[in-house]
Amino acid sequence: MAEKSLYERLGGIFAVAAVVDSFSDQLLKNPKIVDANPALKEWHTVKFRERMPGLKFLRTLWVASVAGGPFQYTGEELRDAHRDLRITPEVFDEVVAELGKALDHFKVPQREKEEVLAAFNAQKPDVTAGSKVGG
Ligand code: HEM
């Protein structure tokens, strides 16, 4: 029998969406993320009101797709979606730490937690490209 996908082991779309929902709300409370630069500050204090539901949807779709679920992420390339937010490697690590806390909160087992975090970390060069000169 084929091994279950990460998506199945996480518990499917409702489990993925619950983690993304909680994680996305927690980021709003972390000053190292909210106050990191003017673009992130504006997003987390003003824009989030109309954009957070869509962002939660797209993040959920991305995780569900990367984890091998029956969905395909068709949003913007992560490099383009994050360019103007100028996310530094330090801010990226802070966001990943918050994701780790959310996975712990939902008692996701160590192996699956590590796989989700590895999938995020693999995007670091693309997501932080906007913080580099000329990025
Ligand atoms: C692997 C890591 C990450 C993934 C998978 C991810 C996923 C996504 C996705 C799917 C979108 C929507 C793209 C679209 O418009 O189609 C997005 C946008 C966004 N991401 Fe990320 N992201 C990551 C890292 C980060 C980090 C480190 C931050 C820092 C706070 C961040 C903040 C944002 C914000 C504020 C938006 C919304 C931009 C807008 O309003 O259009 N993301 N992200």
Q: Report the pLDDT averaged over residues 123-135.
A: 88
Does the structure show a pLDDT above 90 at 83?
A: yes
Domain ranges of the chain: 9-131
**CB contact set of 8 (below 8 Å; sequence gap of 6+):** 68, 69
Q: Round to whole Å and give the CA distance between 61 and 109.
A: 21
Q: Judge if the beta carbon of residue 127 lies within 6 A of ligand 1.
A: yes
Residue 120 · residue 96 · CB < 8 Å: yes
Q: Judge if the beta carbon of residue 120 lies within 6 A of ligand 1.
A: yes
Does the structure show a pLDDT above 60 at 126?
A: yes
Q: Report the pLDDT averaged over residues 33-62.
A: 98
CATH topology of domain 9-131: Globin-like (1.10.490)
The DSSP annotation for 98-126 comes to: HHHHHHHHTT--HHHHHHHHHHHHTTHHH
Does the structure show a pLDDT above 80 at 114?
A: yes
Residue of 44, 82, 90, 93 to test ligand 1 pocket, by largest number of atoms within 8 Å of CB: 82
**CB contact set of 25 (below 8 Å; sequence gap of 6+):** none
- Does the CA dihedral 43-97-102-20 come out positive or negative? positive
Does the structure show a pLDDT above 60 at 135?
A: no
Task: Give the pLDDT band of residue 134 (cuts 50, 70, 90).
Answer: low
Residue 19 · residue 106 · CB < 8 Å: yes
pLDDT, the chain, mean: 96
Q: Round to whole Å and give the CA distance between 120 and 66.
A: 10
Q: Could you tell me the pTM of the whole model?
A: 0.94
